[in-house]
Amino acid sequence: MKKLQILLLIFGVWLKTDAQNIVQYEYWYDSNYGSTTLVNNSSGSTMDLNTSLSGTSGLLPGLHAVNFRAKDTDGKWSSAITEQFYATGNWNIDTYEYWFDDDYANKITNTVTGTQNYILTSNLNTSAVGYGSHALNFRAKDSAGKWSIVFKEFFFKSIGGAQMSNAEYWIDSNYANKQPLTFTSSNIVFINQTLLTANLDDQLHTFNFRMQDQAGKWSVVTSSYFMAHNQIVGYDYWFDADFDHKKATAITPTDLLTTEPDFDTNGLSAGVHVVNFRAKSSSGKYSATIAQNVTVYVTPVFTPIAQSCSGAVLTALPTTSTNGITGTWSPALNNLATTTYTFTPNVGEFALATVDMTVAVGAITTWDGTSWDNGTPTCTSKAIINGNYSEAVNLEACSLEVTG
């Protein structure tokens, strides 16, 4: 039991109350909250737990978690603290590796001196992940070359520095039962998955999270999807009422979908649509459908304008794109030179940006009696004859003007 004594010394820095005494604590292994052990306590407002814990003899070899929380004289429980430990038979642990979210390709592997009781106390390098909610995956290898099962925990990373001090999370729309969190100097805080999923049905749920800076201002809320008792292995989605054209997407099995599902909006008209989303669990069952609005913005599309003859009357440019966006063009039409015009969508249109279109105007070439000053005219050129012309060739031009 030495490994658990060392492990739980870490808890002492957490178990301190300002005004209340700690009267009880409880602990359990992995997600087996039904077999929790409850212990009375009389140490006061601060408790350093350095006793051996019971209940490890029935654990299978491999990576496990011990979860711990305390209750004060008001009957309020603290947040749960979770630490990992590895239960072995006669083999020693010599290697461990970890990675974030589904990025196994960039796993970090470390070797350790062979031991049956190894507690990971070093900080994990989270520099490659952005702020918000993430999954930490961890496994260990013994001297027989066998890897443990993958142990997964979810954590939050703050923006960094001293500006972020607190956070909170809640499930679905149940903000009234939000759970507060406090960032340590590492800017990382873990949550207890057992408490997160307790009393939830095996449907699709949303995990909502936000952070608070030292000025008391809250960040925007980020949300992730999860299923309480199974992994998510895929999802279906469709737009509006068009279920017949739903799209199915398979994903790497995950407990928490930390990235926003990729909804392909190609082919949708500009404007507000309803996307319907349901997740598929590892048991093969689908969750209830979640519907939310999605706004589709498009780039205005126009049919190219054919090259015109210099000086010819230009047809007004269309004020409605082929995909239904209305707007205006600038500058004014110029029938004497090739010009690039900019289309600016009207206010309220669901357009991504302005669009440029170039209208080409043919060149002008003049015959001075001996040669053309701008090259032999073509079907897109305006030809001006300003001198005697007696060439025995066919003359091709979009417009002909004789001045001399």
Q: Tell me the range of 16-20, 191-195, 196-200 where mean pLDDT is highest.
A: 196-200
Please indicate whether residue 295 or residue 51 has the higher confidence score (pLDDT). 295
pLDDT of amino acid 51 = 64
20, 72 Cβ separation under 8 angstroms = yes
Let me know if residue 377 belongs to a domain.
no
For residues 141-152, give the mean pLDDT. 79
Tokens of 356: 């440029």
Q: Are residues 8 and 151 in the same domain?
A: yes
Whether 10 shows a pLDDT value over 70: the answer reads no
Q: What is the DSSP string of 329-369?
A: EES---SSS-EEEEEEEPTT--BSS-EEEEE-B--EEEE-S
Identify the weakest region by mean pLDDT among 88-102, 111-125, 293-307, 328-342. Answer: 111-125
Whether 2 shows a pLDDT value over 80: the answer reads no
pLDDT of amino acid 3 = 31
Q: Are residues 196 and 236 in the same domain?
A: no
Q: How confident is the model at residue 396 (pLDDT cuts 50, 70, 90)?
A: confident
Q: Are residues 151 and 26 in the same domain?
A: yes
Let me know if residue 363 belongs to a domain.
no
As a whole number of angstroms, the distance between CA 118 and CA 371 comes to 94
Q: How confident is the model at residue 147 (pLDDT cuts 50, 70, 90)?
A: confident
As a whole number of angstroms, the distance between CA 311 and CA 401 comes to 11
**Total domains in the fold of the chain:** 3
Let me know if residue 105 belongs to a domain.
yes
Q: Are residues 172 and 119 in the same domain?
A: no
Average model confidence (pLDDT) across the chain: 79
| 84-101 pLDDT, tens digit each | 776 655 677 888 888 888
As a whole number of angstroms, the distance between CA 292 and CA 281 comes to 21
305, 359 Cβ separation under 8 angstroms = yes
For residues 362-376, give the mean pLDDT. 86
Torsion angle of the four alpha carbons 86, 92, 98, 104, in this order, in degrees rounded to the nearest 10: -120
pLDDT of amino acid 122 = 61
Last-in-domain residue among 227, 248, 272: 227
Let me know if residue 269 belongs to a domain.
yes
For residues 149-170, give the mean pLDDT. 70
Q: Are residues 237 and 150 in the same domain?
A: no
Let me know if residue 385 belongs to a domain.
no
pLDDT of amino acid 404 = 64
Please indicate whether residue 256 or residue 328 has the higher confidence score (pLDDT). 328
Let me know if residue 58 belongs to a domain.
yes
Domain that holds residue 168: 158-227
E-assigned strand segments in 145-297: 151-157, 164-171, 179-182, 188-190, 204-213, 222-227, 232-239, 247-254, 256-257, 271-281, 290-296
Last-in-domain residue among 203, 227, 251: 227
CA angle 45, 50, 52 (to 5 degrees): 130
For 351, list phi and psi in degrees, rounded to 5: -115, 145
CATH no. for residue 192?
Answer: 2.60.40
Cβ neighbours of 42 (radius 10 Å):
8
Confirm whether pTM is higher than 0.85.
no
Last-in-domain residue among 127, 155, 183: 155
Q: Are residues 33 and 138 in the same domain?
A: yes
As a whole number of angstroms, the distance between CA 369 and CA 225 comes to 80
Whether 63 shows a pLDDT value over 80: the answer reads no
Q: Are residues 136 and 164 in the same domain?
A: no
Let me know if residue 130 belongs to a domain.
yes
Let me know if residue 207 belongs to a domain.
yes
340, 332 Cβ separation under 8 angstroms = no
